[in-house]
Amino acid sequence: MTHLLNLDRFRSAGIVTIGYEILQGRVVDTNSAYLARKLFLMGLDVRSTISVSDDLEDIIRALKFAVSDMGAELVFTTGGLGPTPDDRTLEAIARFLGVELVVNDEALRDIKAKYSRRGVELTPERLKMAKLPQGAVPLLNPVGIAPGIYIESTVGERRIAIVSLPGVPREMEAIFEKYIEPALRKSRRLYVAEGYVRLRVMESEIAPYIRSVMKRYSGIYIKSHPEGEELGLPVVRIYTAAYGRDAERAYEACKAVQEEFISYAKEKGIEVAEHKPCVVH
């Protein structure tokens, strides 16, 4: 893949992580957190994250939920790309999009080269990783074997794309940072500024004021998080995230909301326990 993917059209995203280890609570789903954070900071609206097992039908159900129920245009999957029989993500994507799995020449060359460099033969299990849904672009793995894929399609009347990444965090991140992040950065039209203030007040006490600020700044995301104890030593963290077509606009909008809460606190004699100024990432 020599040219940058064109991700201009996509505004919303969904994440599907695949594998029983999350459903068994054996691992915390840090892949979703990593992807969500990256996508959010690039101005994409992440609509949902889902974890399902490696069952073929379950993966298809999760893709349907992300695309059809939640309206995601750009869906990321992690996990299920390896050589073992329970790695069935690409089969599920093919079924979901109504295409066949076919050996992809570029992926095959890459996998062959990686194994032959170590004098290891190409077994059916290894060959399997080169079988991609028809029309998929392989995202060759810089630190492992199994390639990720990028595939566009039309579902209903909407143009969507699926990016499928390995489940091993190091490989997932390497492919994302090589192929996806630069494309999102190039296409991004929205900048996000975020920051928070922590006030020593009960959440139930400041709730009406939060509501009034939300109404006046309806385009800005404001969210209160109770910390400490509501009736013991209450602290409320009020997080603000503002979008803007350039970094400065995003920053100014975020700052305006922060200043509202800081003046209100001063006026009411509420202690500001912490002020984390707005920053654009």
Q: Judged by CB under 8 A, which of 82, 138, 147, 148 binds a second copy?
A: 82
Q: Judged by CB under 8 A, which of 9, 100, 123, 277 binds a second copy?
A: 123
Stretch that binds a second copy, among 25-33, 172-180, 255-263, 264-272 (CB under 8 A): 25-33
CA 209 to CA 138: how far, in whole Å? 51
Q: Judged by CB under 8 A, which of 42, 53, 160, 250 binds a second copy?
A: 53
* Contacts of residue 260, Cβ cutoff 8 Å, sequence gap at least 6: 213, 216, 217
Place of tokens 């073929």: 56
204 binds a second copy (CB under 8 A): yes
Give helix then strand counts, H and E, for the chain.
10, 12
Q: Judged by CB under 8 A, which of 208, 218, 219, 267 binds a second copy?
A: 208
CB of 155 to a second copy, least distance (A): 17
Q: Where are the alpha helices (DSSP H) in the chain?
A: 20-23, 30-41, 56-64, 89-97, 105-116, 124-127, 169-175, 181-187, 203-216, 247-268
65 binds a second copy (CB under 8 A): yes
Count of residues near a second copy by CB under 8 A: 72
Nearer to a second copy, 144 or 244 (CB): 144
Write out the binding residues for a second copy, residues 169-198 only, by CB under 8 A.
none
6 binds a second copy (CB under 8 A): no
217 binds a second copy (CB under 8 A): no
230 binds a second copy (CB under 8 A): yes
Q: Are strands 12-18 and 74-78 parallel, antiparallel or unpaired?
A: parallel
Cα dihedral sign, 51-52-53-55:
negative
33 binds a second copy (CB under 8 A): yes
Q: Judged by CB under 8 A, which of 8, 229, 271, 274 binds a second copy?
A: 229
230 in Cβ contact with 204 (< 8 Å): yes
193 in Cβ contact with 279 (< 8 Å): yes
